[in-house]
Structure 1
Amino acid sequence: MTAPLLSVEHVTRRYGPRIGCQDVSFELWPGEVMGIVGESGSGKSTLLSCISGQGDPDEGRVVYDARDLGPVDIREMSEPRRRMLMRTDWAFVHQNPRDGLRMTVSAGANVGERLMAVGARNYANIRAQATDWLGKVEIDEGRVDDRPAAFSGGMQQRLQIARNLVTGPRLVFMDEPTGGLDVSVQARLLDLIRGLVRELGLSAVIVTHDLAVVRLLADRLMVMKDGRRVETGLTDQVLDDPQHPYTQLLVSSVLQA
């Protein structure tokens, strides 16, 4: 029987007396996209930080089915192994692409650096792969030597995606990947993300406040409020027939907008 790719077990994170997230559990299966939604302060970003290895939970476990080790708690991994995991099997797409890019080097170098981090050394091959990935994310390959500062916000986000996916990760974490972009740019980026997820068979965890994003991208949906999970289920099921009063409020606010 296929094992979950990621098992989140009773994850809790506190900031002094304030709860970031509390007792959150779910499983993510190979090729599945999980959306996590909620208003600001709901705990979704704290949860994402805990499960992506960017922050440590106070309680609970995050178990990943690693290629070479099988299921392992990421907190029990050595620091070098965890760093390698984040360069190979995992990827993280930030809301602000500047947080995920090196702004002082070229677009090609941004993509190539991740290849070099996993051992690639042939310059011609690295440049060829970087140029190929620019094409995959709809950036003119002739801009391989341009720096990210010369790109629009949408192009920077697509470059960040290329940088993350070039090493063939199995699991991608996305924090408000379309936040701050114009509506037309959002739509194009969402189509790109959806196509890449399907083409590459990626699993993903996407945090967003935008229900339209999860409707388009997510197979399953988790709704958070005050650090706790209040509802979960298939995305269309949750959005079309919300059971929890908070979810009903979220959905109705979108319908009234």
Structure 2
Amino acid sequence: MSARVADLPLLVAEGLSKDYGARIGCRDVSLKIFPGEVLAVVGESGSGKSTLLGLLSTELAPDAGRVRYRLRDGRLADLAGLGAAEKRLLMRTDWGFVRQNAADGLRMTVSAGGNVGERLMAVGWRNYARIRAEATDWLGRVEIAADRIDDDPRAFSGGMRQRLQIARNLVTRPRLVFMDEPTGGLDVSVQARLLDLIRSLVAELGLAVVIVTHDLAVARLLSHRMVVMRHGRVIETGLTDQVLDDPREPYTQLLVSSVLAA
């Protein structure tokens, strides 16, 4: 990627809004995500952060606003204008999505190696030996033993399933990865190990990441910038350390102080 393109935003959201009947899901949110940047979206339950993630990843259609993405040819394309085939290709190549419940992001009846290899096949890999070798390499990178390659995810612990989901998503070296509470529901020791893994892989691959979390410690560890949401609106944004160490808004101050008091 040229220096000029690297300085341009990878994803641009403009005026995103989404309602669920009388309830506000997301209201007039605009943001930019740059190559190699990790953006954390934080807020308590019901703040709109998951709705925003759904809108950015095109899993939800906005009532208003648009999302544009910079394709590999440098063009900033309106995602609503992409055809179904183009959107599927984007999800298989340039994008990844790590879900809170790994079972939602894996094929639970397909082997660990098959879960990783399936995404390679989706981008044109056809040589079985090469696919298996790449899958084995990626299992090693996420700390899953090579002799588990033919086991299916139902035999894995929660932490192992999440690591497998990460391998499945990153094997095609996407440019943008969405993460929805990736450490939610895991034991503290498992969370810490998983966060270290995510941080090292994100840095190594130069990924742009949008991560939704209610855990401010996760946001501090992983993200460069942070967006704080409340009642569907962005109420504060800035560099992560700046927002957490010197929050401007009373709501953000309350969030930070509640973590410190815990």
Fold shared, TM-score > 0.5 on shorter chain = yes
Q: Deviations along 1:34-53, whole A, 9 cap, x unmatched?
A: 00000000000000000011
Identity of aligned residues (%): 70
Report how far residue 120 of structure 1 moved.
Answer: 1.1
TM-score by length of 2: 0.97
Partner of 1:99 in structure 2? 104
Confirm or deny that 1:74 pairs with 2:63. Answer: no
- 1:63 is aligned, of 50, 68, 88, to 68
Give the secondary structure class of the aligned counterpart of 1:62.
strand
CA distance in 2, matches of 1:180, 1:4: 33
Partner of 2:14 in structure 1? 9
CA distance in 2, matches of 1:100, 1:68: 29
Partner of 2:258 in structure 1? 253
Confirm or deny that 1:217 pairs with 2:222. Answer: yes
Q: Deviations along 1:126-183, whole A, 9 cap, x unmatched?
A: 1111110000101111110011011110000000000000111000000000000000
Give, as a single letter, the amino acid of the residue that structure 2 aligns with 1:89: D
Partner of 2:196 in structure 1? 191
- 2:205 is aligned, of 193, 200, 208, to 200
Partner of 1:182 in structure 2? 187
CA distance in 2, matches of 1:242, 1:69: 36
Confirm or deny that 1:165 pairs with 2:170. Answer: yes
Partner of 2:124 in structure 1? 119
> Please, which runs of 5 or more residues in structure 1 have no aligned partner?
none
**Stretches of 4+ aligned residues off by more than 3 angstroms:** none
TM-score by length of 1: 0.99
* CA RMSD, 1 decimal: 0.7
CA distance in 2, matches of 1:192, 1:29: 22
Confirm or deny that 1:238 pairs with 2:238. Answer: no
Report how far residue 54 of structure 1 moved.
Answer: 0.9
Confirm or deny that 1:110 pairs with 2:115. Answer: yes
Q: Deviations along 1:14-73, whole A, 9 cap, x unmatched?
A: 111211000001111110000000000000000000001111111111110010361001
CA distance in 2, matches of 1:90, 1:177: 16
Give, as a single letter, the amino acid of the residue that structure 1 aligns with 2:109: T
CA distance in 1, matches of 2:192, 2:215: 12
Give, as a single letter, the amino acid of the residue that structure 1 aligns with 2:122: A
Give, as a single letter, the amino acid of the residue that structure 1 aligns with 2:241: D
- 1:227 is aligned, of 220, 224, 232, to 232
Partner of 1:141 in structure 2? 146
Give, as a single letter, the amino acid of the residue that structure 2 aligns with 1:50: L
Confirm or deny that 1:40 pairs with 2:34. Answer: no
Number of equivalenced pairs:
257
CA distance in 2, matches of 1:208, 1:178: 9
Give, as a single letter, the amino acid of the residue that structure 1 aligns with 2:243: V
Report how far residue 106 of structure 1 moved.
Answer: 0.5
- 1:51 is aligned, of 23, 33, 56, to 56
CA distance in 1, matches of 2:226, 2:110: 37
Give, as a single letter, the amino acid of the residue that structure 2 aligns with 1:210: D
Confirm or deny that 1:85 pairs with 2:85. Answer: no
